[in-house]
Amino acid sequence: MIIFNLKNVGLALAMVLTLGFLAACGGDGDESQNWRFVTEEVEGQVQYVYAQEFADRMYDKTDGEVQIDVYEFGGLGEETDQVDQLMQGAVEMAVMSPGFTGDMVSEGQLFALHFLFPDDVATTQDILTNSEALNTDLRERYEEHNISPLAYWTEGAMQWTSNDHPLTSPEDFENFQMRIQMSPLIRASYEAYGADPQDMSWGELYTALDRGTVQGQENPIFFIGDASFHEVQDYMTMSNHNNYVAMTTVNTEWYNELDDDIRALVDETTQEMQSWIFEEQQRQNEEFITIIEEDTDNPTEIVELTEEERQVFRDIATDVREFYRSEVSGVGGEILDKLEEEIAEHE
């Protein structure tokens, strides 16, 4: 288990800001640029290796002019701290989960809707890469908050883990304490199943599962295994109820002020990374299913939902879309309508 020393976060952040300031004030003739790229995951995990690969590519393409320092989760605070840091320009780049911007960009909560994207993860990645609803319309909503999502990509299909019983029907969710990210629509999705959702950072989740503060959670397989959540859970229900979507984001003002040639390289690299990260998440998700299966010291029973069982959840989740349209979306669900049309074209 990973323990984060958050009491040093303030100090670390102050050092980062000072170094960034010094780099930015490099003076005439000093062409090197230092950018800070923060992620919500730790070394080796999907978001972190994404940022590292991105940094390496930018370094190579600019012959070392652009140097990007990658920060793992906890280095500069928790997920919601990182959202603030990007908005305020304390970091230039971030991999961000829409779930942590739920209180801010209500449209971005559409990623919380279960059974929205196709079951096939490659098709979902294709939609995320090419969708106008997401890459133009939703991006504009984020830009009102000084955050530009340059790309959306999947970290894999999400599964449910639990204590005591697998989660195969809405009855299994009755009063079930489910850990969620801080998004009103994720909350509504689990309340619709009868659960009692509790939001918290993932940095507190292992302990919360261990102590029974919450009884279950959702995540892609690689994350369940790498964060060792399976050690403190009895069941993993293969629900594939949603994809974990991450966004490559930049501070909008900073991005708009970049030299045109450097901004073009950022865009080019972001696009190249879509296929690279798809393969990386697939590799890690495949690797960790085996690790979880073979961890006989911490046995986890893996239960596959049947299509009939999934249909019961799907029917409830479809009603949550209407809640999103009427109560959550500030634009009457327009972006969701367009996205649904794009998804239908792929199917």
CB of 96 to ligand 6CS, least distance (A): 9
40 binds ligand 6CS per the rule CB under 6 A = yes
54 binds ligand 6CS per the rule CB under 6 A = no
Binding mask 224-263 for ligand 6CS (x = CB under 6 A): --------------------x-------------------
Number of residues binding to ligand 6CS, judged by CB under 6 A: 11
Among 13, 36, 38, 41, which residue sits at the site for ligand 6CS (rule: CB under 6 A)? 41
Cα distances (Å, whole numbers) of residue 135 to 107, 148, 274, 276: 13, 10, 13, 19
In sequence order, what are the beta bridge partners of 158?
220
For residue 284 the two structure tokens come to 């890690």
CB of 48 to ligand 6CS, least distance (A): 10
Among the residue ranges 4-12, 54-62, 120-128, 219-227, the one whose residues contact ligand 6CS (CB under 6 A): 219-227
Least Cα distance to 43 among 21, 70, 19 occurs for: 70
- For ligand 6CS, the closer CB: 223 or 255: 223
Angstrom distance (rounded) from CA 198 to CA 240: 21
- For ligand 6CS, the closer CB: 153 or 176: 153
CB of 86 to ligand 6CS, least distance (A): 14
Task: Look at strands 147-162 and 177-180 and give their pairing.
Answer: unpaired
Q: How much of the chain is helix, strand and coil, in % rounded to 5?
A: 55, 20, 30
**Residues 92-111 contacting ligand 6CS, CB under 6 A:** 97
Angstrom distance (rounded) from CA 185 to CA 133: 19
Residue 95 host element (H or E) = strand 93-96
**Residues 162-181 contacting ligand 6CS, CB under 6 A:** 181
- For ligand 6CS, the closer CB: 50 or 176: 50
For residue 110 the two structure tokens come to 């559409």
Among 155, 172, 226, 231, which residue sits at the site for ligand 6CS (rule: CB under 6 A)? 155
Among the residue ranges 16-24, 217-225, 282-290, 332-340, the one whose residues contact ligand 6CS (CB under 6 A): 217-225
CB of 160 to ligand 6CS, least distance (A): 12
Angstrom distance (rounded) from CA 123 to CA 116: 12
152 binds ligand 6CS per the rule CB under 6 A = no
The C-alpha angle 174, 176, 178, rounded to 5 degrees, equals 135
Task: Look at strands 147-162 and 235-238 and give their pairing.
Answer: antiparallel
Angstrom distance (rounded) from CA 281 to CA 22: 36
Sign of the Cα pseudo-torsion (316, 190, 114, 238, in order): negative
Among the residue ranges 2-10, 216-224, 256-264, 327-335, the one whose residues contact ligand 6CS (CB under 6 A): 216-224
Kindly tell me the burial class for residue 110, based on how many C-beta atoms sit within 10 Å of its own C-beta (0-12, 13-18, 19 or more).
Answer: buried
**Residues 188-207 contacting ligand 6CS, CB under 6 A:** 202
Among 69, 79, 172, 231, which residue sits at the site for ligand 6CS (rule: CB under 6 A)? 79
- For ligand 6CS, the closer CB: 58 or 180: 180
Q: Which residues bind ligand 6CS (CB under 6 A)?
A: 40-41, 79, 97, 155, 181, 202, 219-220, 223, 244
